[in-house]
Amino acid sequence: MKANLKYNLTWLGVMVLVFGLIDACEFLGIINAFIENMLVTIGINIILATGLNLIIGFSGQFSLGHAGFMAIGAYATGIMTQNMATPLGFYLSMGVGIVIAMVAALIVGIPTLRLRGDYLAIATMGAAEIIRILINNFKITNGAAGLFNIPPLVTWATVYVLMCLTTIITVNFIHSRSGRAVMAVREDEIAAEAMGINTTRWKLIAFVFGAGTAAIGGSLHAAYIQTIAPGDFNIMASIAILIIVVLGGVGSITGTFVAAIVLGALDTILQNFGTLRMIIYSLALILIMIFKPAGLLGNWEFSFKRFGRTRKEVPTHD
Amino acid sequence: MTSPLLTAQQLVKNFGGLTAVANVSVHFDQNELVGLIGPNGAGKTTLFNLLTGETPVTSGAITLYTDQGVQSLNGKRPAQIAQAGLSRTFQNIRLFKELSVLDNVRIAMTNHYHDGFLASVFRTPKFYRTEAAMTTAARDLLAIFDLTDVADQPAKNLPYGTQRRLEIVRALATKPKLLFLDEPAAGMNPEETADLTRLIRQIQRDFHITIVLIEHDMSLVMNVVERLYVLEHGALLAEGTPADIQQNPDVIRAYLGDEA
Amino acid sequence: MQTFGQQLINGLSLGSIYALLALGYTMVYGIIKLINFAHGDIYMLGAFWGYYVINGLHFNFIFAMLSAMIFCALVGVLIEYFAYRPLRHSPRITALITAIGVSFLLENTMTYFFSANTRNFPQVITTVTYHVLGLHISNIQLLILGTACLLMLLLEIIIKRTKMGKAMRAVSVDPEAAQLVGINLNHTISFTFALGSAMAGAAGVLIGLYYNSIDPLMGMTPGIKAFVAAVIGGIGSVPGASVGGFLIGLLETGVQAVGLSAYKDAVVYVVLIVILLVLPAGIFGKKTKEKV
Q: Which residues of A touch C97 (CB under 8 A)?
A: 242, 246, 285, 289
Instruction: Supply the pLDDT for residue B1.
Output: 47
Complex confidence, ipTM: 0.91
The pLDDT confidence band at residue C212, using thresholds 50, 70 and 90, is: confident
- With CB atoms and an 8 Å threshold, state whether A190 touches C269: no
Q: Is the pLDDT of residue A23 over 70?
A: yes
Contact A121 C270 (CB under 8 A): no
* Substitution target from B103, B109, B168 for chain A, most A beta carbons within 10 A: B103
What is the pLDDT, as a whole number, of residue C287? 62
Q: Does C269 touch chain A (CB under 8 A)?
A: yes
Furthest C-alpha separation in chain C: 61
| DSSP at B48 | H
Closest CA–CA distance from residue B220 to any residue of chain A (Å): 25
Per-residue pLDDT tens digits for C242-286:
999 999 999 999 998 888 888 889 999 999 888 888 888 888 876
Distance CA A206, CA A186 (A): 11
Share of chain C above pLDDT 70, in %: 97
8 A C-beta contact, residue B6 and residue B178:
yes
pLDDT tops 90 at residue A33: no
CB contact under 8 A, A191 and B96: yes
- The verdict on a CB contact (< 8 Å) between B153 and A312 is yes
Span A145-161, pLDDT tens digits: 889 888 888 888 999 99
Mean pLDDT of C155-177: 89
Percent pLDDT > 70 in chain B is: 97
pLDDT for residue A118: 79
Where would I find the H helices in A226-252? 235-248
Task: Give the SS3 label for residue B106.
Answer: helix
pLDDT (tens digit per residue) in A51-88: 999 999 898 888 999 999 999 999 999 999 988 888 99
Cα–Cα distance, B94 to C208 (Å, whole number): 52
Q: Determine the average pLDDT of the residues in C102-115.
A: 90
Between the alpha carbon of residue C167 and those of residues A145, C21, C158, C238, the distances in Å are 52, 22, 11, 15
Closest B-chain CA to C287: B16
Nearest CA in chain B to C288: B15
Chain B: give the shortest CA distance to residue C274, in Å. 23
Mutate to test the interface with A, among B121, B139, B164 (most CBs of A within 10 A): B121
Q: Please, how many CA atoms are within 13 Å of residue C2, restricted to the half-sphere of its CB?
A: 7
Report yes or no: C164 and C188 within 8 Å, Cβ to Cβ. Answer: yes
Mean pLDDT, chain B, rounded, equals: 90
Share above pLDDT 90 across residues of chain C, in percent, rounded to a whole number: 47
Q: Does C99 touch chain A (CB under 8 A)?
A: no
* pLDDT for the residue numbered C133: 77
**Chain A residues near residue C112 by CB distance under 8 angstroms:** 274-276, 279
- Least CB-CB distance to C272: which of A118, A126, A275? A126
Chain C: closest CA distance from residue B99 (Å): 19
Distance from CA of C211 to the nearest CA of A (A): 22
Contact C93 A118 (CB under 8 A): yes
Q: Which of A4, A190, A195 sits opposite B107 (nearest CB)?
A: A195
CA distance C80 to C82: 6
A56 three-state secondary structure: helix
Calculate how close chain B gets to A29, using CA atoms only, in Å: 36
Q: Give the pLDDT confidence score for residue B148 in this predicted structure.
A: 94
Q: Which residue of B has its CA nearest to A185?
A: B96
Q: In this structure, are residues B219 and B193 in contact, taking their beta carbons and an 8 Å threshold?
A: yes
Q: How many CB atoms lie within 10 A of CB B18?
A: 8
- Give CA–CA dist A120/A110, Å, rounded: 12
Interface of A with B in 197-256 (CB under 8 A): 197-199
Which of A8-22, A203-217, B239-253 has the highest average model confidence (pLDDT)?
A203-217
